[in-house]
Amino acid sequence: YFQKVPAEAPQLELKANYGLVEPVPFEFPALNTHWTAETVAAFDLTKRPKEDTAKPKPDEEVKPLKEPDIKPQKDSGCQIS
């Protein structure tokens, strides 16, 4: 608490020599021989079969639920004093 603040900030060593890891350059993996232009062209989404189940169903009316009539019981064992 009672240390004086220096008028000029001291020069700090900016390069840390512990606790840091050298960055590893990212490289994409080599392509597999199975992925040819012919294979990629086979993934044409316009040629997929049409499904009737993909249509969204209309929203159904939500029926209200009747809440049970809960009456306080004296035999619950809970006491407020």
In angstroms, rounded to a whole number, what is the distance separating the alpha carbons of residues 44 and 38? 11
How much is the pLDDT for 65?
87
Q: What's the pLDDT tens digit per position in 9-35?
A: 888 877 766 776 777 889 999 989 998
Q: Is 0.85 topped by the overall pTM? A: no
pLDDT tens-digit profile of 37-81?
888 888 877 877 776 565 677 788 888 888 888 777 666 667 776
Q: Look up tokens 């035999």; give the residue.
A: 75
Gap between the Cα atoms of 17 and 14, Å rounded: 10
